[in-house]
Structure 1
Amino acid sequence: MSHAVHSPARPDVSSLTPALEVRGLGKSFHIGGLFSSQAVRALHRVDLTIGRGEIVALVGESGSGKSTLARCVARLEKPSEGAILVDGVEVLKRDRFQASREFRSQLQMVFQDPFGSLNPAHRIEHFLRRSLTIHGKGGTRQRGSEEQTRRRLEELMTTVGLQADMLDSYPHELSGGQRQRVAIARALAVEPNVILADEPTSMLDVSVRIGVLNLMRKLRDEQGISMLYITHDLASARYLADRTAVMFAGEIVEEGESLDLLANPAHPYTQLLVSAVPDPARAGSYDPIHRAQLRQAVMASASCAFENDPKQRCSSEEPVRHQVGDPLNRHWVRCHLYRPRAGAGGHALATEPEPGD
């Protein structure tokens, strides 16, 4: 039986403090050359919270901003605005110029391509040993600790469901699923509290995806690691994640408990995503022309598919969060369609403050 490789949160951090919190995060990319003032907005005032031992799925089509959000949180891209809190500490203020070693030991990222993230010139042992050495884990900074380090390497391999003798293998000698497990083991080597998994199964065969998803669930259940699971696969989000957040045009437009949100999508964009999932029950009623028209309306707008509807306010007023259904499900949506009518009871959440308030 292997020992847990995850260290608990700092003793001075409350168990109620979120493992990761993103507040008003924005990111713009400048285009057109060095002296151009043009910019493309990739993220706009993104708020996201991940509790301890919680898995949150972030879903959306390609180009919606999912990976950009993960790269900003991982400090691989510099956010244009906003705050990132890990264990309640604002890391952008603590580490102003670059991510510190302490931050890297708290938060790790697993990339989409397991082969591209592993140097083919090195054996598997090199990747895990290097993580242990840099962060001083497994006795690597103590004299005569080679035996202890070797045990730790084998323990990491066992934890992710691989044989210890694979430490002597090269990446090309492993399957795609095995390489992704090695990438997860490398992330675990530094004993993080949070793992950002950027579509970790999209390049794997369908037959091995469930194994990686079950491994991520096991790490959450046994070691209490919090995860942001980025995916375009709604089925895997429903299977793995406690909560699901929907991203469109650089903003989170809907969020809630995974089962409730995917069974009762509220935002037009979420409804569009769900309608794209094959379902034999609605095979006879599927209208590809109507779906294509709706998709065109959604993607042509930076805010809402109903922007041209004179009854809506999407063109002039940014929608705020509104509660949907049972408050216990924490299901909310940003859409004027759910705005409470004047004089009627409703479940609108508090209006978000304007910049500078």
Structure 2
Amino acid sequence: MSATTDNARERAGTVAADGAPVVEIRGLVKDFPVGGLLSRGRFRALGGIDLDVRRGEIMALVGESGSGKSTIARCVARLEQPTSGTLRVDGVDVLAAEPRRASRAYRAKVQMVFQDPFGSLNPAHRVEHFLTRALVLHGRATSASTLKRRLTELLDTVDLDHALLDAYPHELSGGQRQRVAIARALAVEPEVILADEPTSMLDVSVRIGILNLMRRLRDERGISLLYITHDLAAARYIADRTTVMFAGEVVEAGESTALMAGPAHPYTRLLLSAVPDPRRAGTFDPAERAALRAQVLGATTCPYAADGRCRDDAPVHHVVEPGWTVRCHRYRPHAEVARRALDVSGTATAQTA
């Protein structure tokens, strides 16, 4: 067993009990210009995101297309420059320390696996080129013998045959190409992997293999994963926690199993209604779901809002249970009761003291 593998497993054992966040996002805003070069129009893709990814956990980021999921990942990967907000990795304010572009050291900590494995692999090069380039650029292979051993280890880790080192991307299946992309990310021994819908372009029969691979990487190496998807079934299967995004905002976040079993926000319920579930009684009428979607997305008053309150007073995050928050006015009374209870408790404690 190599020293690299030993170090990875030691790190996994260390972070397994560490609940501290490795990625901390606070007030992240991203605006895109619209209307051409002379226009001052701006489109707000992210509206002040607060998000933590803990060490050794898989966090799923779910929502429809256009909700801002991939924009968050691209900001964390430093492929997009946020308009405002803070991004901390290992406690370091990255945007302040490296304002213009990410350093090579940061790239070694945070790696990204893209949605389209064929588009992210240059068709003119063989698999060996992709892995060798990552190893050499980041100083993970200083001799020919070390390089050969590391190439073998990477292919073993992602369950690929060693003969595929000589293959071109077009000679591989979609699942094999995605495994090569994951191996390339692993070559620099990252702490965080941003997986942007890594299974959406794969056959259903091979998706479970990629999901199991990512879970194994978390278990064996202690790598944190931000898993971006619109598939709530996959999120429930792979993720420890799930964050639901809608229109550039986080609307609900909590432990995956509990959140999927009893979603608090109407938008989360809408997303779950589209997931096939043989245990669900009866069927969900598509026309009813379309009407609910129009209501939740603002075409009419949300059926769960009182007197259209969301239009006049933006909801804030309320605690459903410890570790589970929802951005919805329906939970305001519960939050106010809890606040008053804390106030009374604090007053009683002060009087006793």
- Same fold, TM exceeding 0.5? yes
Are 1:268 and 1:305, in contact at CA under 8 Å, matched by a contact in 2?
no
RMSD of Structure 2 on Structure 1 (CA) = 2.5
Does the 8 Å CA contact 2:266/2:304 hold for their aligned counterparts? Answer: no
Match of 2:329 among 329, 332, 336: 336
Worse-superposed segment, 29-38 or 258-267 = 29-38
For the 8 Å contact 1:321–1:349, the answer to whether it is kept is no
SS state at 1:23 partner: strand
Compute the displacement of 1:277 (Å): 1.1
Measured against aligned partners, the alpha-carbon deviations of 1:75-117 in whole angstroms (never above 9, x if no partner) come to 1011111111110101101111101111100000000000100
2:73 is equivalent to residue 70 of structure 1: yes
Q: Displacement, 1:279?
A: 2.5
Aligned match of 2:211 in 188, 210, 213? 213
Partner residue in 1 for 2:41: 38
Contact 2:301–2:308 at 8 Å: present in 1 too? no
Residue identity matched to 1:111: F
**Equivalent residue letter for 2:330:** L
C-alpha distance in structure 1 between counterparts of 2:183 and 2:282, whole Å: 46
Point out the more displaced range, 30-39 or 105-114.
30-39
Runs of 5+ unmatched residues, structure 1: 140-144, 351-357
Tell me the matched-pair count. 337
Q: Could you tell me how far apart the structure 2 residues matched to 1:158 and 1:64 are?
A: 36
In structure 1, the residue matched to 2:111 is 108
How far has the Cα of 1:269 moved from its partner?
Answer: 0.4
Q: Deviations over 1:237-264 (max 9, x none)?
A: 0110000000000011000000000111
Deviates more, 1:332-341 or 1:79-88: 332-341
CA distance in 1: counterparts of 2:138 and 2:95, whole angstroms: 21
Deviation at 1:281, TM superposition (A): 3.9
Q: Quick one: structure 1 residues 282 and 8, their matched pair in 2 at CA, closer, same or farther if it must change by over 3 Å?
A: closer
Aligned runs of 1:138-149 on 2, under 5 Å?
138-139=141-142, 145-149=143-147
* Alignment partner, residue 347 of structure 2: none
Go from structure 1 to structure 2 and tell me whether the alpha carbon gap of 1:19 and 1:160 turns closer, same or farther (over 3 Å shift).
Answer: same
Q: Which residue of 1 aligns with 2:64?
A: 61
Q: Is 2:310 the partner of 1:317?
A: no
Q: Which residue of 1 aligns with 2:162?
A: 164
Change in 2 beyond 3 A, CA 1:286/1:16: closer
Offset at residue 282 of structure 1 (A):
3.8
Question: 1-side partners of 2:19 and 2:180: how far apart?
Answer: 31
Instruction: Select between 53-62 and 338-347 the one with higher mean Cα deviation.
Output: 338-347
Between the aligned residues of both structures, percent identity stands at 63
Name the structure with the higher helix share: 2
Segments of structure 2 that go 5 or more residues without pairing to the other structure are 344-353
SS of 2:310 mapped into structure 1: coil
Distance of 1:341 and 1:48 partners within structure 2: 23
Once the two structures are superposed, residues 104-158 of structure 1 have per-residue CA deviations (whole angstroms, 9 ceiling, x without a partner) of 000000000001000011000000110111111122xxxxx11111111111111
- 1:6-40: CA deviations, max 9, x gaps? 4949x9xx955411111111111111111211111
CA contact (8 A) 1:307 1:313 kept: no
- Aligned partners of 1:340 and 1:347 also within 8 Å: no
Structure 2 equivalent of residue 154 of structure 1: 152
- Aligned partners of 1:322 and 1:348 also within 8 Å: no
The worse-fitting range, judged by mean Cα deviation, of 284-293 and 17-26 is 284-293
- Which residue of 1 is the match for residue 242 of structure 2? 244
TM-score (norm 1): 0.88
Question: Secondary structure in 2 aligned to 1:266?
Answer: coil
Paired amino acid for 1:279: D
Alpha-carbon distance in 1 for matches of 2:163, 2:200: 27
Which residue pairs with 1:257 in the alignment? 255
Does the CA contact (< 8 Å) of 1:322 and 1:338 recur in 2?
A: yes
Q: Distance in 2 between matches of 1:45 and 1:347?
A: 28
SS at match of 1:19: strand
Equivalent position of 1:355 in the other structure: none
Change (3 A) 1:305 1:91: farther
Mapping of 1:145-294 within 5 angstroms?
145-282=143-280, 284-294=282-292
Q: Is 1:298 aligned to 2:296, yes or no?
A: yes
SS of residue matched to 2:292: helix
Instruction: Check if 1:126 corresponds to 2:124.
Output: no
Asked if 1:92 is matched to 2:90, the reply is: no
